[in-house]
Structure 1
Amino acid sequence: MASQFPNLFSPIQIGNMTVRNRIVNTAHGTNFARDHMVTDRHIHYHVERAKGGVGMSIMEATSVHPSYDIGVMNTIWSFDERNIPWFRRLSRAVHQHQAKILVQLNHGGRQSSNSETMMPSMAPSPVPSPDLWETGAEVPHEMDEDDIMEIVRAFGQAAAVVKEGGMDGVELHGGHGNLIQQFMSPWVNRRGDQYGGSIDNRLRFANQVIGEVRRNVGDEFVVGMRISGDEFVSGGLTLDDMQEIARRLAATGQIDYFNVSNSTYSDVKSMTAHIPSMYVAPATYSYLWEGIKNAVDIPVIGVGRINTADLAEWVLAERKADMVGMVRELIADPYLPNKAREGKLDDIRACVACLESCIGRLERGLSISCIYNPVSGREREWSDLKPASTRKSLFVVGGGPAGLEAARVAAVRGHEVTLFEKSEQLGGQVKTAAQAPYREEFGGIVGYLESQVRKLGVDVVLGKEASEEMILEANPHAVVIATGSNAYIPQVPGSELGIVISAKDAMEGKVDLGEKIVVVDTQGLHPGSDVAELLADQGKEVQLITTKPYVGASIELLTWRILYQRLMEKGVKMFPSVGLKEIGEDSVTVYSTITKEEWQISAVDAVVFAAGGQADNGLYRALKGKLRELFAVGDCVAPRGVEQAVYEGHKVGREL
């Protein structure tokens, strides 16, 4: 009930706009745009969160000028008048559900990749991004005053387009190492003219942008600014600096709120604080929000792993911030606000901060989703889950994420579902993955799915392996096979020896491995790095070899950055671009994939393979052609990730 969260569900005034509660879907990339235009996917995505009870949404960082683009994402051009009808459709649709929606205006400056427009990136000084994870590190064009005023006018033009589109306001992106922050920061701004040097000069560009935006939208339209409370780079802006900057900008009377995040995209370690994974404790950076709030008298939004309604209420009650940004939480469950307000906390699908399907998909040039909410990003097709026209008896064989999601969706639609799991607990390989250091939250995927299937009345049968004979005798209307996969051990000379073990068995502690371990990672995913870290924590001497160009090459970048540092600090010896040639009784022969040079690692007690799985599809093949409806989902089709398994389970649950 709302009384459990009196602060979270109280309205707030921002400028002339009243927001119904304190929950904000802050700006984040989606990669839904096409040809730099808003699309139906944006509309359905934001409407779903408005229906779910969010107070305010801020649309993703849009480009105010053709000189700013991001190579891995299609960026909305907010200056383009072709987007006015789209903004109108979006704002009207969101307003029907009593939520507010703004648009973030941005120019990335040196953090641009203009491979499409072929325009150079630009910045206050010709200082490249040293560690830019998205777009490379070209030396930017140093902006002269004509360039500066062109971009200032572009911000104003974009704001006018957004206002014409019926949106509730704009948010100027002055954080994350983008152009406004580049002018503010002595780390980037090395100018000797009126735009560099003193704090007044370094704020000149920001003040000109704010003034031009106000000139185009008037005093009644909401104008906010996102800022980084700390850049987290040597020589960059600190909290003390940002408090003074915030005070000066607020004193103009032209900014209605601050949205306080942190970091710069130009440094990967810094970015691990901006988009914190499960390796970072929730609300770690609340001191930044509080620091800015104490410096100004306008509302402050706090952003950074506020992952539960209880924590959000604490942030507000302790006056750390006036509003709470809960982006990934709303990606995982758009209905979190309504569920929290109604006291249905157990029904909230919590974000596990894995980063795999939100930012991880963006890193690969894909549109966002959620590792265990496949509706997220597919709202246009899947937001409505219709009851089944005919109630069927359904057997689901396998209690991993694919089987659990198939059972959940089928039960929601009204089918009579029985789920068989041969082990004594549900979860499949997710429960193994959650045993890795600092990855306990990953188990929340199974925790949610199990609680939901039990609440929905699914008959969960543990410790019983469903056989072909049993299923044929029961003759249910439909059967979903979700039997997963078994560990794959590559066939190299010596792989049959007793010192060889899978990463799964090593994670579960099934055998005594001895003291000197060689981990062979053929995929660059979590299992190889995770088992290496777990064994290092046990005091083992661990060497990790991989044919990939670096260890963990297929792990989401911001998660990888923290994990890789821990592996180094814990003494794991890592050998990239190295393959395994042969396993002996107590040694392995390895080789460089570059030079083909071979060498031997001796006195080896165990060889641990992290090489993926092999589909356990025997039951599916035995039943094929013998049942009215038979489906296979997840790893028993082909061993992949949790996202694919849940997607397939969900899809089949809808199709039954």
Structure 2
Amino acid sequence: MSTSLQTELPHAELFEPTRVGSIEVKNHYAMGPMGPLGFSTAEGGWNQRAIEFYTTRARGGIGLIITGVCQVTNPADGVPPGLIPNPTQSPGLFMTTSRDLTERVHGYDAKIVLQAGAGFGRVITKAILGGRTPVAPSAIPYRWDPSITCREMTVEEIQGVVEQFRITGAVAREAGFDGIQVHAVHEGYLLDQFAISFFNHRTDEYGGSLENRLRFAREVVEAIHAGAGDDFPVQLRFSPKSMIKAFGVGAMPGERFAEVGRDIDEGIEAARLLVSYGYEALDVDVGSYDSWYWSHPPMYQAKGLYVPYARQLHEACPDIPLIVAGRMDDPELAAAATADGTATLISLARPTLADPEIVNKLQRGRRDLVRPCISCQEGCIGRIEHYSSLRCAVNPLAARETERPLPQANDRTRMRVLIVGGGVAGMEAARVLAERGHTPVLYEASDRLGGVVIAGGQPSFKEDDLALIAWYERQLEDLGVEVHLNSPVDAAVIRASGADHVLIATGSNPRLLDLGEGVPVVEATDALLDQDALGKQVVIIGGGLTGCELAISLRERGVEVTIVEALSDVLEKNAPLCMANHAMLHDLVPYRGVEVLTDARAERVTDAGLLVSVDGEQRLVPAQTVVTAIGCTPRHELETEVKAAGIPYHVVGDARRCANIMYAIWDGFEVASQLAK
């Protein structure tokens, strides 16, 4: 690309070379660290899946890759061998596999730093803990079960971990990494627990003053330099503010509260000390395991949510290079953060899962081609929580790059495939089939593509759902996929299609209630599409994901909202939902002023609202409109017609099983990628 052309592209300054500490980077973009679950050999080295994963992002234009955290050996934590890569479990193997990784990444003029962690402490999950007593700086409550009190780490155990970092420094340098990022005085991990007085009640040299509480972190960076040399760059993942109201209780955005963790003033003081100890750059976010929806922000958090805190840190300590994350995929937001010096590098984590080519596409001025991250966190955090495997909801090939390229059709295997339904399952299937050289023909009964995601994307915080639909529309157009809108499919269409295979992606039908005569009763999908027509008092029957998101959206419009839920709490029964998203939405409902009636049964509507039975007593909830959000059932009645026509078929997405966007996309991808190989 010529210089003159590049300067005409938007935000060309983001793609100019820069320096973070002593590391020269070709642009202002870093790949944020994400837990490398599924990336380890049994001996703690990198497997081929990991090498392809990071290499793909380097090829996609990232300037600096920060690996997911590789825990050094910490017997007090007891992380099982082979769960995640470990530079000290088998240093020789780690060095060998890391050489393959670093040399391939460097081939794309990208830099790569190894993120190495001291341990989990009180936030270690029960699955990893395996029945042992968790450790912490002091005898404090275990994050996942406050009835369990953590055991205080001994000085000998602390020194053992420090020694592991000396080994890690030597291994990382020899393996070709461009530096180490220590994990972490952030998010409430072990080093952070030592640094925060709320967690650290020690009276020895590792407790008391801020300098003492940071001693563990200081000894770690000194040990790395002892192993790798004083000129080897060491960064730190750092949270200048914890957002903790109490053990296990986080704060809402904009809420006035008393910080019991690290406040911003102490965060600034700690940053100065940490840099004086030898950390040359800070990778900044906000939050903790006690306020997890800050450290792992769902779509309910604002874009660029960490920038205001990073800016305070930058203004107080302008000489400290900062890497800033937090829903920063908007290049305008990124450019503003770098222009005023707040961020040296912009960190993209989940957006690189959704689209490994995001930086290259932005540099070409083709934001319209970027597959958006929808911040559902179901494929990344959710899969890590439940299955110890990093994936992505909208990109089924994330962490499966070894399966590229997709098998291509030839003259013998090429098929004409009729796809019935233009939701995300049908669109993903059409996209993949077209990429493979098959001929998909997509029929959609309504006047646009997107299915129920159109309605789901109406709240202000779900704009990326609509962006995903737009991305699919562009992909199908560029691939030349034949699309028929306003085209219901029946037996005649099936027989006349000439299809070799049929994919039934007809979605689902909402469950409905007969509530008699009275105020209007509207199904949730229709309500989301026309929220202004619902009036100023709305009752929502059903406190699942859809009902709660609609309630928050209506509150933004000033509507009085009551949720009527048959179970004992909201969000008890719905499609899969990762912990951070579940926790934030659960907390947002009361914070935004939504009234919730639990263990309640909707009886019937009247001219004044909804009659509800609560604890055996009937009460009237005033409403101008009642909305039903009580789930859905698969819609696959065409299956009989396809069988009768004798055409091979598959049912995908909600038509097979009502779930969420991730499972619909994965269904469409799986069938389309394997059909007629």
Q: Does 1:76 find its partner at 2:88?
A: no
Q: Does 1:8 find its partner at 2:14?
A: yes
Match of 1:544 among 541, 560, 564: 564
Match of 1:642 among 661, 664, 673: 661
TM-score scaled by length of structure 1 = 0.88
Match of 2:616 among 587, 594, 598: 598
State the shift of 1:431 in Å. 0.7
- Superposed counterparts of 1:468-487, under 5 Å: 468-487=491-510
- Tell whether the 8 Å contact from 1:14 to 1:222 is kept in structure 2 after alignment: no
State the shift of 1:432 in Å. 0.9
Structure-2 change in CA distance of 1:69 and 1:49 (3 Å): farther
Match of 1:403 among 415, 422, 426: 426
Q: Which residue number corresponds to residue 177 of structure 1? A: 188
Q: Where do 5+ consecutive residues of structure 1 fail to align?
A: 592-596
Q: Which residue number corresponds to residue 467 of structure 2? A: 444
Hey, what's the Cα distance between the residues in 2 that align with 1:263 and 1:137? Answer: 23
Hey, what's the Cα distance between the residues in 1 that align with 2:67 and 2:147? Answer: 27
Q: Which residue number corresponds to residue 260 of structure 1? A: 284
Match of 1:138 among 139, 148, 172: 148
- Superposed counterparts of 1:353-392, under 5 Å: 353-381=375-403, 383-390=404-411, 391-392=414-415
Question: Matched residue of 1:357: which SS?
Answer: helix
Q: Which residue number corresponds to residue 41 of structure 1? A: 49
Q: Which residue number corresponds to residue 218 of structure 2? A: 207
Question: Matched residue of 1:364: which SS?
Answer: helix
TM-score scaled by length of structure 2 = 0.85
State the shift of 1:138 in Å. 3.4
Q: Does 1:53 find its partner at 2:73?
A: no
- Tell whether the 8 Å contact from 2:76 to 2:157 is kept in structure 1 after alignment: no
- Tell whether the 8 Å contact from 1:67 to 1:120 is kept in structure 2 after alignment: no
Alignment deviations for residues 34-63 of structure 1 (CA, whole Å, 9 cap, x no partner): 657343332222122122121222222222
Hey, what's the Cα distance between the residues in 2 that align with 1:609 and 1:91? Answer: 54
Hey, what's the Cα distance between the residues in 1 that align with 2:105 and 2:379? Answer: 25
Q: Which residue number corresponds to residue 152 of structure 1? A: 162
- Superposed counterparts of 1:604-615, under 5 Å: 608-615=627-634
State the shift of 1:224 in Å. 1.1
State the shift of 1:8 in Å. 2.1
Question: Matched residue of 2:75: which SS?
Answer: coil
Structure-2 change in CA distance of 1:497 and 1:410 (3 Å): farther
Q: Which residue number corresponds to residue 297 of structure 2? A: 276
- Superposed counterparts of 1:220-619, under 5 Å: 220-233=231-244, 234-252=259-277, 254-265=278-289, 267-268=290-291, 271-294=292-315, 295=317, 297-381=319-403, 383-390=404-411, 391-436=414-459, 438-489=461-512, 501-509=522-530, 519-521=540-542, 525-534=544-553, 537=557, 539-547=559-567, 549-551=569-571, 554=574, 555-576=577-598, 578=599, 580=601, 590=613, 598-602=616-620, 608-619=627-638
- Tell whether the 8 Å contact from 2:354 to 2:395 is kept in structure 1 after alignment: yes
Structure-2 change in CA distance of 1:603 and 1:112 (3 Å): closer
Equivalent residue letter for 1:340: L
State the shift of 1:302 in Å. 1.0
Hey, what's the Cα distance between the residues in 2 that align with 1:496 and 1:69? Answer: 60
State the shift of 1:66 in Å. 2.9
Q: Which residue number corresponds to residue 30 of structure 2? A: 24
- How many residue pairs are counted as aligned between the two chains? 636
- Tell whether the 8 Å contact from 1:67 to 1:117 is kept in structure 2 after alignment: no
Equivalent residue letter for 1:260: V
Greater mean deviation of Cα atoms: 86-95 or 461-470: 86-95
Structure-2 change in CA distance of 1:70 and 1:283 (3 Å): farther
Hey, what's the Cα distance between the residues in 2 that align with 1:7 and 1:644? Answer: 38
State the shift of 1:534 in Å. 4.5
Structure-2 change in CA distance of 1:503 and 1:601 (3 Å): farther
Greater mean deviation of Cα atoms: 287-296 or 43-52: 287-296
Question: Matched residue of 1:438: which SS?
Answer: helix
Greater mean deviation of Cα atoms: 84-93 or 424-433: 84-93
Equivalent residue letter for 1:327: A
Equivalent residue letter for 2:324: G
- Tell whether the 8 Å contact from 1:587 to 1:600 is kept in structure 2 after alignment: no
Hey, what's the Cα distance between the residues in 2 that align with 1:261 and 1:286? Answer: 9
Alignment deviations for residues 560-600 of structure 1 (CA, whole Å, 9 cap, x no partner): 33333332144433244x26486587865657xxxxx6343
Hey, what's the Cα distance between the residues in 1 that align with 2:644 and 2:311? Answer: 63
Hey, what's the Cα distance between the residues in 1 that align with 2:448 and 2:30? Answer: 37
State the shift of 1:291 in Å. 3.6
Question: Matched residue of 1:138: which SS?
Answer: strand
State the shift of 1:208 in Å. 1.2
Hey, what's the Cα distance between the residues in 2 that align with 1:535 and 1:313? Answer: 33
- Tell whether the 8 Å contact from 1:489 to 1:495 is kept in structure 2 after alignment: no
Q: Which residue number corresponds to residue 632 of structure 1? A: 651
Match of 1:121 among 107, 127, 134: 134
Structure-2 change in CA distance of 1:466 and 1:141 (3 Å): same
Question: Matched residue of 2:417: which SS?
Answer: strand
State the shift of 1:368 in Å. 2.8
- Tell whether the 8 Å contact from 1:246 to 1:296 is kept in structure 2 after alignment: no
Q: Does 1:655 find its partner at 2:674?
A: yes
Equivalent residue letter for 1:622: E
Alignment deviations for residues 465-512 of structure 1 (CA, whole Å, 9 cap, x no partner): 12221231231344322111111247xxx6687876532233334998
Equivalent residue letter for 2:63: G
Question: Matched residue of 2:441: which SS?
Answer: strand
State the shift of 1:118 in Å. 5.2
Q: Where do 5+ consecutive residues of structure 2 fail to align?
A: 245-258
State the shift of 1:629 in Å. 4.4
Equivalent residue letter for 1:9: F
Hey, what's the Cα distance between the residues in 2 that align with 1:23 and 1:386? Answer: 32
Equivalent residue letter for 2:32: T
State the shift of 1:80 in Å. 0.6
Q: Which residue number corresponds to residue 248 of structure 2? A: none
Structure-2 change in CA distance of 1:247 and 1:580 (3 Å): same
Match of 2:228 among 214, 217, 222: 217
Equivalent residue letter for 2:453: V
- Cα RMSD after superposing both structures: 3.1
Hey, what's the Cα distance between the residues in 1 that align with 2:310 and 2:487? Answer: 52
Match of 2:103 among 74, 80, 92: 92
Structure-2 change in CA distance of 1:590 and 1:364 (3 Å): farther
Q: Does 1:108 find its partner at 2:120?
A: yes
Equivalent residue letter for 2:98: F
Greater mean deviation of Cα atoms: 524-533 or 496-505: 496-505
Hey, what's the Cα distance between the residues in 1 that align with 2:496 and 2:430? Answer: 21
Question: Matched residue of 2:149: which SS?
Answer: coil
Structure-2 change in CA distance of 1:26 and 1:484 (3 Å): same
Hey, what's the Cα distance between the residues in 1 that align with 2:631 and 2:274? Answer: 53
Q: Which residue number corresponds to residue 594 of structure 1? A: none
- Tell whether the 8 Å contact from 1:475 to 1:627 is kept in structure 2 after alignment: no
Question: Matched residue of 1:91: which SS?
Answer: helix
Equivalent residue letter for 1:55: G
Hey, what's the Cα distance between the residues in 2 that align with 1:331 and 1:264? Answer: 23
- Tell whether the 8 Å contact from 2:33 to 2:69 is kept in structure 1 after alignment: yes
Hey, what's the Cα distance between the residues in 1 that align with 2:632 and 2:570? Answer: 22
- Superposed counterparts of 1:179-198, under 5 Å: 179-198=190-209
- Tell whether the 8 Å contact from 1:535 to 1:542 is kept in structure 2 after alignment: no
